[in-house]
Amino acid sequence: MNVMLTRSPSESMPARMEPLARLPVFLALEGRRAVVAGGTAAAAWKAELLSAAGAEVKVYAASPCEELLALATEPPRGSIFIHRRAWYVDDIRGAAIAIGACDTDEEAVHFANAGRASGVPVNVIDKPQFCDFAFGAIVNRSPLVIGISTDGAAPVFGQAIRAKLEALIPRGFAQWAEAARRWRGDVKNSGLSFNARRRFWQIFTAHAVVHPEHEPTASDYERLLKAAEAERERADRGSVTLVGAGPGDPELLTLRAVRALQSADVILFDDLVSPEILEFARREAKKMLVGKSGYAPSCTQDEINALMVGLARAGRRVVRLKGGDPMIFGRAGEEIAACRKAHVAVEVVPGITAAQGAASRLGISLTQRGNARRVQYVTGHGADGALPADIDWRSLADPNATSIIYMPVKTIDELTARAITAGLDPATPAVAVARATRPDETRVVSTIAELPERLAEAGLPGPVVVMIGRTFSALAAAQAVGTETRKLLP
């Protein structure tokens, strides 16, 4: 007799922030006094950064370099005034920030102590041991600004990352970020509800990403506002999105899945979802574990449906996050029906299935020409946890099919025996893949006749998918000569 072990949906606390080498902080320096001590080219570059941020820069240098003199004549934003003398402690007092180009450690200690005694954060160029803060590599699409730091460990690496981001982020994003700053107050006073205002910014972002080089105008604002107003009722009603999380590797998420996670108020996720995937969600989104398992405490489907619908009716944007693809043995049909019955808007974002992920890592086509004419997906257990009684055994024995068995571990002995009795060749190649596409992915390769014993020996962690068919012949041959690994390295 199978006993159903139940558990209630539980909120998952957000993961703690991993240790930071530096706290990234963006200082507001417009109109504030900043001190630069030294007249070198490096000091000139720091003075330029401070001026670009709007600071009133005071440079103290007995012999300023040509770059500094030229910069003072045409500063990028805030004024730059050069005092042709050495710095004094009184020069630092009351400043917002102080930067020193110091030749010796003795001078650096003196400068750093003077700043700290005055409560002024200090940076000593190229001497990180004396710095309260550090400058990173900068991607400038102001007011969109990205700072990159390696804590001084690998500046060249930081610059390489900056170069990558420079290539990825269109320069036109600067004008869209500026438009967002201009329009924010208007949107807030537009009369739209909180959810509708958030929808405005989602539409704004999607439009900016598609048209980065288009200069936003007042007519764009009006059009985007009308689009948000048109969706006001739906935004306030709440909705449900069933999202496929894929087999485990977070890089296999679709862009649409990432957007859904980033816009969700509540995420209801299964045990099979990788924790790394939840990192794509907004930090303030509520994350609730509603795991289902045939052989461990599980939330009932009715509980999940009621929670999902209730949250949506309360105006929440709900993401129901499922491992693999929600439409493949994910009970998506029941959840869609529950939403439609409650008149809750529902949509589906497909995901990469466990079989697709496993096949991609194996480098084997599931429909290899000459070996397979079709692919069939079969569940290894029914609602009661036993082997389903209505499996088409003749179909499973078809040598021209690639069969994918989901949730097979507890019933693989009986499934294999009945398939062989129905005509499946006992020598047919089979591969079981646990935690497909994840760093700890593990495989067992054998004939279908030997697979139950091999699985019992391996004790694979879930989730497991079993794939059967002639398309795996080359893999089985490699295993026979000992070239196939049982455990994969990251």
Residues marked active site are found at 270, 292
148: CB partners within 8 A, 6+ apart? 136, 137, 138, 139, 158, 161, 162, 165
Work out the angle between the directed axes of helices 173-188 and 194-210 (0-180°, nearest 10): 160
Task: For residues 139 and 166, give the distance between their C-alpha atoms in angstroms, rounded to a whole number.
Answer: 6
Q: Tokens 């069933």 identify what position?
A: 242
**Six-digit token string for 41:** 């080219």
Report which residue type is found at 423.
G
Task: For residues 52 and 46, give the distance between their C-alpha atoms in angstroms, rounded to a whole number.
Answer: 10
Q: Which of 457, 468, 464 is CA-nearest to residue 441? A: 464
Name the burial class of residue 3, with classes exposed (0-12), middle (13-18) and buried (19+) by CB atoms within 10 angstroms of its CB: exposed
CA angle, 55 then 56 then 59, to 5°: 115
Task: For residues 99 and 50, give the distance between their C-alpha atoms in angstroms, rounded to a whole number.
Answer: 10
415: CB partners within 8 A, 6+ apart? 380, 387, 391, 405, 408
DSSP conformation letters of 440-478: T-EEEEEETTTHHHHHHHHTPPSPEEEEESGGGHHHHHH
Residue pair 68/60 in contact (Cβ under 8 Å)? The answer is: no
Per the DSSP assignment, residues forming a β-bridge with 415 are: none
Q: Tokens 């054998």 identify what position?
A: 446
Q: Determine the number of helices (DSSP H) and then strands (DSSP E) in the chain.
A: 18, 18
38: CB partners within 8 A, 6+ apart? 60, 61, 100, 101, 102, 125
3-state percent breakdown (helix, strand, coil) of the chain, nearest 5: 40, 20, 40
Task: For residues 56 and 45, give the distance between their C-alpha atoms in angstroms, rounded to a whole number.
Answer: 15
**Across 207-314, where does the E strand assignment appear?**
239-244, 266-269, 286-289
158: CB partners within 8 A, 6+ apart? 136, 137, 148, 149, 150
Per the DSSP assignment, residues forming a β-bridge with 36 are: 59, 99
- In angstroms, how far is CA 122 from the centroid of its own chain? 35
